Amino acid sequence: MKVLLIGSGGREHALAWKIAQSPRLTQLFAAPGNPGIADHATLVDVNVEDHAAVIAFCQENDIDFVVVGPEAPLVAGLADDLRSAGIATFGPSAAAAQLEGSKGFTKDLCARYDIPTGAYQRFKSAEPAKQYVREQGAPIVIKADGLAAGKGVTVAMTEANALSAIDDCFDGAFGAAGAEVVVEAFLDGEEASFFCLSDGKTALALATAQDHKRVGDGDTGPNTGGMGAYSPAPVMTPAMVERTMREIIEPTMHGMAKDGHPFSGVFFAGLMITAKGPELIEYNVRFGDPECQVLMMRLKSDLLPILHATATGTLDQVSAQWRDDAALTVVLASKGYPASYDKNTPIAHVPTERADAKVFHAGTAIKDGQLVATGGRVLNVTAFGKTVTEARDRAYALATEVKWDNGFSRSDIGWQAVAREKDGPAKG
């Protein structure tokens, strides 16, 4: 099978690494890719925003299957256009991608189909939103409705923070994404990420993970795209996974089909495990970044036929097997991230892959023969272990081998699971 992978981040490097292991693969291309992905795929200079150009490349190179990594091309309808051209594609339609493209769309779906989530209101101007905040009080959550690269959400612990976050959205801090704002109830509990494939009729549960959104140790500082993750998430016990499938995933899948937007791709459910059980914080319609990195490390099965079955409506014919081992990834980011940071800083050394660990490239490029950091999140140092503690120790040990003067990381990725392991046997 000849495959084209769309994307250039750490998530796509992890997907490329795993797809390249498939005996069913004959050739893998990536557009635009990155220097890490180049170890597994032929990089092609195709503008992924030009759907006609992507289709032309696929037709000229006899591509059998396209895997779309990031959310923006999905929201822009790339999967629709590829499928219209007769090319099998992993990823939802533009209509179904509204689950990520519009927070309000998702909240309305939850209300329609009785999916547990925080109470909310939608606003198109600042003053009514502020009045609602004053009535509800803090803590409260302010979300830009559209795509904001993981940075459009403010968990406001004070009313003043909430009012300021509303102003930020309507003053253009997140561009068009902030033209509408969702204000919702603060959910108290432990966050977890749950991944599940859907072909519109069948749902296949994958695995769980826990992300670390805040930039600083102790979950302090501003939200980022994610500073590290581990899998599995101990809070997601088998009983909690079963409830999540029954109460959240299956009603979403059936509701989307009933509304005329059947969902084909990956449900990435951001959950809060509350005293009442699992509640939906938000949906993403692609693999998480950096959660994908730990999932791909743990997946024993061949990824390619599972993705292809999702895209072709035959998900009921495949299954996924997982390593019992934990995996953990530490994000190395450019100093200053998530605010402004220097670009094109040189990376002198990235350690090579070993049996229990690998470094995935995210925001990197080759400039004048030198590997440089081009993004905020740059490298994902990922490792296995019998426990999260062991995986953490291996990942941080490998991170010390990276030679990059402008990089930094959190030092406490996995802290909740590590604390659990100290207190007793790991669960889940």
Confidence band (pLDDT; 50, 70, 90) for 150? low
Query: What is the average per-residue pLDDT within 145-151?
Result: 75
pLDDT of residue 223: 84
Which of 109, 161, 121, 111 lies closest to 138 in space, CA to CA?
A: 161
Confidence band (pLDDT; 50, 70, 90) for 130? very high
Confidence band (pLDDT; 50, 70, 90) for 427? very low
3-state secondary structure of 210: strand
Q: Mean of the per-residue pLDDT values for the chain?
A: 94
Residues near 344 by beta carbon (within 8 Å), at least 6 away in sequence: 365, 367, 372, 373, 374
Is pLDDT at 148 greater than 80 in this prediction? no
Among 165-169, 300-304, 325-329, the minimum mean pLDDT is found in 165-169
Confidence band (pLDDT; 50, 70, 90) for 134? very high
Question: Exposed, middle or buried by CB within 10 Å (0-12, 13-18, 19+), for 211?
Answer: buried
pLDDT of residue 292: 98
Confidence band (pLDDT; 50, 70, 90) for 78? very high
Is pLDDT at 247 greater than 50 in this prediction? yes
| Count of CB atoms situated within 10 Å of the CB of 339 | 8
Is pLDDT at 376 greater than 70 in this prediction? yes
d(CA 268, CA 280): 10
Is pLDDT at 267 greater than 90 in this prediction? yes
pLDDT of residue 57: 98
Among 45-59, 94-108, 140-154, 191-205, the minimum mean pLDDT is found in 140-154
Is pLDDT at 242 greater than 90 in this prediction? yes
Confidence band (pLDDT; 50, 70, 90) for 425? low
pLDDT of residue 203: 97
| Residues constituting the chain | 428
pLDDT of residue 356: 93
| Count of CB atoms situated within 10 Å of the CB of 426 | 16
Q: Are 261 and 196 in contact (CB under 8 A)?
A: no
pTM of the model: 0.93
User: What letter would DSSP give residue 50?
Assistant: -
